[in-house]
């Protein structure tokens, strides 16, 4: 059974710092891995999608990596801003085309 874990559960850093969020999964048989952002009380916004054959994707200040063999992904945020404060969710699409979700990392960027 696929399980997705995100560490840490919460993170607070000063504005301007670079930071890394971690996601691990137990079964390497995935189609893709996705990172989402969720603002308090809101729906989810897709940030990056990495296909199983890819190793990374970049969008602006965000870079996501995927190491399928070790069951790990990282989301790198460069030059963090207060507007980056949100909960970041990682999800893997398993062999049944279902998304399996981590519990998220709550990120606070202090001005």
Partner 1 sequence: SQTIHQWPATLVQPVGSPLSLECTVEGTSNPNLYWYRQAAGRGLQLLFYSVGIGQISSEVPQNLSASRPQDRQFILSSKKLLLSDSGFYLCAWSGTSESETQYFGPGTRLLVL
Question: Which positions touch partner 1 (CB under 8 A)?
Answer: 4, 9, 31-32, 34, 36, 41-46, 49, 51, 89, 91, 93, 97-104
Return the number of the residue (12 or 98) whose C-beta is nearest partner 1. Answer: 98
- The minimum distance between CB 74 and partner 1, in angstroms, equals 18
**Cα angle at 101 between 49 and 10, to 5 degrees?**
95
Nearest to partner 1 of 14, 43 (CB atom): 43
**Burial of residue 63 (number of CB atoms within 10 Å: 0-12, 13-18, 19+):** middle
């Amino acid at each position: 059974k696929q399980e997705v874990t995100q560490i840490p559960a919460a993170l607070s850093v000063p504005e301007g710092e670079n930071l890394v969020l971690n996601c691990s999964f137990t079964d390497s048989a995935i189609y893709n891995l996705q990172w989402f952002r969720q603002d308090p009380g809101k729906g989810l916004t897709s940030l990056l999608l990495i296909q199983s054959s890819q190793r990374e994707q970049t969008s602006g200040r965000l870079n996501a990596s995927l190491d399928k063999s070790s069951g790990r992904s990282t989301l790198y945020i460069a030059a963090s801003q207060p507007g980056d404060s949100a909960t970041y969710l990682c999800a893997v699409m398993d062999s049944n085309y279902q998304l399996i979700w981590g519990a998220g990392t709550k990120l606070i960027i202090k001005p």
